[in-house]
Structure 1
Amino acid sequence: MFSIAQRFGVSLQALINANPQITNPSEIFPCDVLCVPCEPQCRMPASCPPGFRCRYTVQPGDTMFSIAQRFGVSLQALINANPQITNPSEIFPCDVLCVPCREECREPKHCPKGFPDRYTVQPGDTMFSIARRFGVSLQALIDANPHITDPTEIFPCDVLCVPRHHRGEEVSAHEGEELVPPQEADAE
């Protein structure tokens, strides 16, 4: 019944409730006739948290994982931003999710001494991976970026203050100039 519920965009519980003649929802047979509720029960967030101020309507074939990838956030961050989805494995067309907005990129007003350059977060980056990349402690990177209120949730397009030195070498950027992610710079 789960795949039928997904196909019609209704919750499994709604499909079970509409079919009391089915005594075991795990066992349906080709001759069984099911009633499918006409209108799916769309779930909408009451409000969206910082960093996830835009809304996205789930489309057929979407999963929480594919939506997280599309918007460049971790699956866990997307789940945390959408408490109205009680089972992340069960989303339906017409459900509305809170997702990051491109225009909601967080940027520092100024960078502290020792962290004069700026780095734009890329998909897959974490504060830990960026700290390692630039050869600083995680705590030093967090302290240099107070505009990031939750360091476990950074998003592509967020801008961080980073040190001038990259792996012990001088970075070829002028103070305040944005740096290209090292993997892109190495590819050129």
Structure 2
Amino acid sequence: MRTHAVARRTRYLQLGVPAAVLGTLSGAIAVVPASADAVTPPIERLHSSATQVKMAEAPPAAYTVQPGDTISSIANRFGLRTVDVLAWNALTWRSVIYPGQTLSLAGASAPVAPAAPPAQAPATATHVVAAGDTVFGIAQRYGTSVDAVLAANGLTRASVIYPGQQLALSGTSTPAPVAVASAAPAPVASGGQTHAVVAGDTLFGIAQRYGTSVAQLYAMNGLSSGSIIYPGQSIVVAGAAAVTAPAPAPAAATAPPGQLFANLDAEQAANAHLIISVGRNLGVSDRGIAIALATAMVESSLRNLSWGDRDSLGLFQQRPSMGWGTPEQAIDADRSTRVFFGGASDPNGQGSRGLLDITGWEGMRFTDAAQAVQISAYPERYGQWETQAYQWLGLHG
């Protein structure tokens, strides 16, 4: 073996390769895998401690889920972003995948061409989208395919659907329409008896203790079914009269139905100021900053939480397991805000997709722009804070 090494060294020197470089070349040759010619170029992923290089497989048009797979692991395997795989398959962060399920990865190689407008495709049935619906779930319910639903409605795999939207279902039996009702909640009560939340409290338990209802607690505190309560929070439990006759508020008097309002405490106001400051620093428009404020209110009640659904953390409840950074990074309020905005200055690089990475976000509905980043099962909740978010922008900016 030494004879062969000497021979190789002699050949390199004959080719004019400097001896000082020879050791480096030999080392590089020694570690080239046998299948290197069939492997795509490496994709670099930045981590908190060091840069690791992964060899990503070329993504196929479709992938069949295997036991133990997660959306995140599939995305990492093919060098994709988790949020893109979710969008291409009309899934949310809460969606469950199962072995044998087919996932589309077609968006990785080329965008899906827009389908013909629904007016050109005859539809024999319609479905009214309800909270939690996905295109995949709707297709299964009516015995059709995701592609058929997309084509019948002029959608792509990156499109966002929302409660109240009507989807045409070409060639299916007539469904039972799903009604979507939206009642305008009352503003927060300014007085009355209060309850200090302790660990283990729930709104249902508090309502029973004070002889009221969960709906009344929602109304008196400006809460909704998606609101988070936390130890130390003060909940109004009596004084409904203050709700029916609130102090005059010009903004509330002209606010559209369905909008939510809340007075921020010191902690929430500080986080609102941070979000606004980061947005200004990045050159984000007022609309983009308002979207960030509303999103943080829905996800964490504008609190930098160290807990959440599964591994969701921080102001925007970003999930480390879905590529949003490490747990420590997710609860770094400044960093997580920059990751939500995304764009060229995104500290997470290509690991996630922020607001500025969404093509045409400025022209989207307020709630749809937030949903394009968050991929929530309840996309309409962001829009309920639109009016209030602009008020916070003016007050804390």
Tell me the TM-score normalised to structure 1 length. 0.29
* Higher normalized strand content (fraction of residues): 1
Bigger Rg over Cα: 2
RCO greater where, 1 or 2, for CA within 8 Å and sep 6 or more?
1
* Higher normalized helix content (fraction of residues): 2
